[in-house]
Structure 1
Amino acid sequence: MNIESAAINIIKRGVELDTKKRYTEALVCYQEGLQILVDKIKSENDESVRSYLRKKVEEYMNRAEAIKKLILQQKEAGQFHEQVHIENNSTGHSYKTLFGRFLDDEVHYVVVEDPYIRSFHQCQNFLRLCELLVRSCSNLRHIELLTSKDSKSETDQRQWFSNLANDLLRYRVKLIVKYSETLHDRQITLSSGWIIKIGRGLDFFKAPENKFCLGMYDMDLRQCHETTVDIVHSKNVKQSYG
């Protein structure tokens, strides 16, 4: 596959997402595809090819700018809503793929509400999320988890959180764990205003078939349970949690 067709495939995916009104995902695809085309123009000697590529770059750059404005308008009006439907047994839905595009230096703290961060694999899912947050959010200062206790694993649960809290301090991130017996909401709230609501919470991955299969560690290769992810934006997040 040559460079140009690689860019076209990425942009086609952007158009597909754009049509489904999954604008923030479409924007990432347009930006990636455009970067490849711009690099290609720099190394292309044929003027007719350069002219064709410039036209394509201008076309998709205009659409990317229009999407940026649309996202901004919807955020300002409190109307932003993007939905991703995860089908049963589908793959390609790691936390990074689902919402990594919202994790940046504007995120100073994160609040995770999920009643089922109790058993070993559920706590490992939370650990995976913490790893992603630490790697992606350079100004992250604290993570708050609101979950419930499990009488069977309560001692282990506290120990796992204690180990994680100690480790996060090495990255200057404080972990605050709170417990609620009436919690039903499942959502991740970023201080930048983005709210990610996952129907099944963090625990939507199926167990791997064995310990030596693809998807054991790379969660984009892990099969999923069916669930819906809703992404909204609220300008009042800082007042709520700050």
Structure 2
Amino acid sequence: MAQTRVPGMETSAISILKRAVELDQTSRFQEALVCYQEGIQLLLDVLKAVKDDSKKAQYREKITSYMDRAEQIKVRMNKLKEEGKYHEQIKIADRATGFSYESLFKPYIREELTEVWVEDPYIRHVHQLYNFLRFCEMLLKAKCNVKKIHLLTSQDEDSSSQQQSAFADIQQSLQSHNICLDIKYSPTIHDREIRFDNGWIIKIGRGLDYFTKPKGRFSIGYCDYDLRECHETTVDVFHTKHTKMT
């Protein structure tokens, strides 16, 4: 590895590990664990490239410290999961950025994930339909083996043909990727919830529609949801082995 790449990797590692510590201090343990793991890997890559023995010793000390903390978090989370008591709350502030679907859901997606349930009454209007499409795209890009997505939503009485046409297109597109989209409607649905068959349950106060309207089609955040401002909302994350999937 070229020595010229070391400063850049070190800067990235410091930034990611700083974020890990911030998340750790606010009890956002699952997100913190992901950041610790990414930052540690970068430091390990730096360690391989460094030639100076004193610097190697410093890096090893830092890596050991972060690895110990990551292991402590992992043990704590596994204990809570085993007891069915795991709960993490993420508060998204008004106008906050950095909360794309990838950023929010990635920590809870594993390779064994095969089935997803989405309950959201507001997948009706064009921007909400695009939100759902982006959620599906996120699952396709993630390291998992999703084969079926269940959507429970309400029917748009004013533009039902537009809604149904959009869903038909999404279904057909997902089918080409060997994913089945099962859609059901409920006139009384109110709760917003996303469930993974690996035990994770994510409840978002505003459902998938927690992004503000972009200022224009050519404004920052229009395409990249990590740069899109959010409405204030709360995300509750649970894990249980006894979730009844319906």
TM-score, normalising length: structure 1:
0.95
Measure the CA separation in 1 of the matches of 2:118 and 2:70.
31
Q: 1:240 maps to what in 2? A: 245
Measure the CA separation in 2 of the matches of 1:182 and 1:156.
21
Measure the CA separation in 2 of the matches of 1:196 and 1:141.
19
Measure the CA separation in 2 of the matches of 1:157 and 1:4.
48
Q: 1:227 maps to what in 2? A: 233
Contact 1:146 / 1:179 at 8 angstroms: preserved in 2? yes
User: Does the C-alpha gap of structure 1 residues 134 and 4 become closer, same or farther in structure 2, counting only changes over 3 Å?
Assistant: closer
The CA RMSD measured in Å over matched residues stands at 1.2
- How many residues align? The count is 240
Q: What is the CA deviation profile of residues 24-49 of structure 1, one whole-angstrom value per residue up to 9, with x for unaligned ones?
A: 11111111111111111111111111
Q: What is the CA deviation profile of residues 100-145 of structure 1, one whole-angstrom value per residue up to 9, with x for unaligned ones?
A: 1212321111000000001111111000001111221542110000
Residue 2 of structure 1: how far off its partner (Å): 4.3
Aligned to 2:100, which of 90, 94, 116?
94
Residue 4 of structure 1: how far off its partner (Å): 2.7
Q: What is the CA deviation profile of residues 152-209 of structure 1, one whole-angstrom value per residue up to 9, with x for unaligned ones?
A: 1111111111111111111111100001111111010001010110000111111111
Q: 1:12 maps to what in 2? A: 18
Q: 2:4 maps to what in 1? A: none
Q: 1:188 maps to what in 2? A: 194
Q: What is the CA deviation profile of residues 43-66 of structure 1, one whole-angstrom value per residue up to 9, with x for unaligned ones?
A: 111111111111111111111111
Aligned to 1:139, which of 115, 139, 145?
145
Q: Tell me, what secondary structure is at the counterpart of 2:158?
A: coil
Note if 1:3 corresponds to 2:23.
no
Structure 1 unmatched ranges of 5 or more: none
Measure the CA separation in 1 of the matches of 2:64 and 2:185.
52
Note if 1:125 corresponds to 2:150.
no
Q: 2:3 maps to what in 1? A: none
Measure the CA separation in 1 of the matches of 2:63 and 2:95.
36
Structure 2 unmatched ranges of 5 or more: 1-6
Measure the CA separation in 2 of the matches of 1:20 and 1:231.
14
Moved over 2 A (4+): 1-6
Contact 1:89 / 1:223 at 8 angstroms: preserved in 2? yes
Q: 2:222 maps to what in 1? A: 216
Q: 1:170 maps to what in 2? A: 176
Contact 1:106 / 1:137 at 8 angstroms: preserved in 2? no
TM-score, normalising length: structure 2:
0.94
Aligned to 1:85, which of 86, 91, 96?
91
